[in-house]
Homo-oligomer: A and B are copies of this chain.
Amino acid sequence: MVIGIIGLGLIGGSFAKDLRGEPWTDRIIGVDNNSDHAKRARELGLVDELVELPQLMSEAEVILLAIPVDGIVALLPSLLDRVSEKQTVIDLGSTKRAVVEAVRGHARRSRYVAAHPMAGTENSGPDAALSGLFKGKVVLLCNLEDSAPDACRMALQIFHSVGLRFEFMPAEQHDRHAAYVSHLSHVVSYALSLAVQTEEKAGYAVPRLAGGGFASTVRLAKSQPEMWVPIFLLNADEVLPAIDSFLMEMHRFRDALAAQDPAGIRNLIATANQIRELLK
């Protein structure tokens, strides 16, 4: 079959790499608004052909939508306007409630599957695409009761073939969990980067002294605004309470330290250590 990918960056490009080897993949065609990214994706062999959006919509049996979530919200309704009963559109965005709301009640809603593969890196663009990026990771599938059974099967076939494990939940629940296990980590990492850059202006300490611990904690601060500004804005209802919950814990820690309270600090650390049991 013909696979159409809209957005040939880290996520779209990584799907292209992994789907390339499937016996049922006849051709992969793609679109990217960024002409440098489009050209580079073709050079890297991620797609067989760069096309315009109307051609992609007429030729592809399955369409993967791998662009920032504000773009998904804006584009998805018009894609569904053109989709046939034999095509499936799958979005791969990092928030889900705003996307499903954008097509609620659409005549072709059932041709659309809402998904979020929880995998990625801090890099972006076609050069960041990686074979095996999704292997063993989780894809959250949301509101499948609104998708046609054959569209669901198509999505599961695509995700299974790249090694993703399935979890199913309503879009609202997805957005709440994602705020805690993904979006909050990014806010925290950005703020850490900002604080360290402000205090270490001379640029001396970070390149010379920072070890693996700092690098690990600040890694997500390399993630680009094109993807992340829309995620935060569209999921602000969940991200703001997550930030507040985190700030409360920071203040508990700060208070215990300001009071030179060893037992208080020890209790906080010992509880924090329990993340070991949850993250094996």
From B188, B207, B209, contact of A217 by CB (8 A) = B188
In this complex, how many residues of chain A approach chain B with their Cβ under 8 Å: the count is 91
Q: Which residues of B contact A209 (CB under 8 A)?
A: 118, 138, 140, 167, 177-178, 181
Most B CB atoms within 10 A — which of A224, A254, A258, A275? A275
Given A220-B216, A249-B198, A257-B240, is A229 in contact with B265 using a C-beta cutoff of 8 Å? yes
A262, CB-defined interface residue at 8 Å: yes
From B118, B197, B250, B275, contact of A221 by CB (8 A) = B275
A194, CB-defined interface residue at 8 Å: yes
Q: Which residues of B contact A199 (CB under 8 A)?
A: 180, 242, 245
Q: Which residues of B contact A180 (CB under 8 A)?
A: 195-196, 199-200, 205
A153-196 contacts to B, CB under 8 A, are: 167, 177-178, 180-182, 184-196
Given A198-B249, A225-B270, A249-B194, is A236 in contact with B258 using a C-beta cutoff of 8 Å? yes
A107, CB-defined interface residue at 8 Å: no
Bound-state CA distance A195–B119 (Å) is 22
User: Would you call the interface of chain A mostly helix, strand, loop, or mixed?
Assistant: helix
Q: Which residues of B contact A257 (CB under 8 A)?
A: 232-233, 236, 239-240, 243
Given A180-B205, A217-B189, is A212 in contact with B119 using a C-beta cutoff of 8 Å? yes
Bound-state CA distance A247–B192 (Å) is 9
Bound-state CA distance A138–B211 (Å) is 8
Q: Are A182 and B275 in contact (CB under 8 A)?
A: no
Q: Which residues of B contact A213 (CB under 8 A)?
A: 120, 122, 182, 185-186, 219-220
Question: Which residues in A have some Cβ–Cβ distance to B below 8 Å?
Answer: 118-122, 137-138, 140, 167, 177-178, 180-182, 184-200, 203, 205-225, 228-229, 232-233, 236, 239-240, 242-254, 257-258, 260, 262, 265-266, 268-276, 278-280
Given contacts A195-B246, A229-B269, A233-B260, 4 further A-B contacts (CB under 8 A): A185-B214, A194-B252, A197-B272, A228-B265
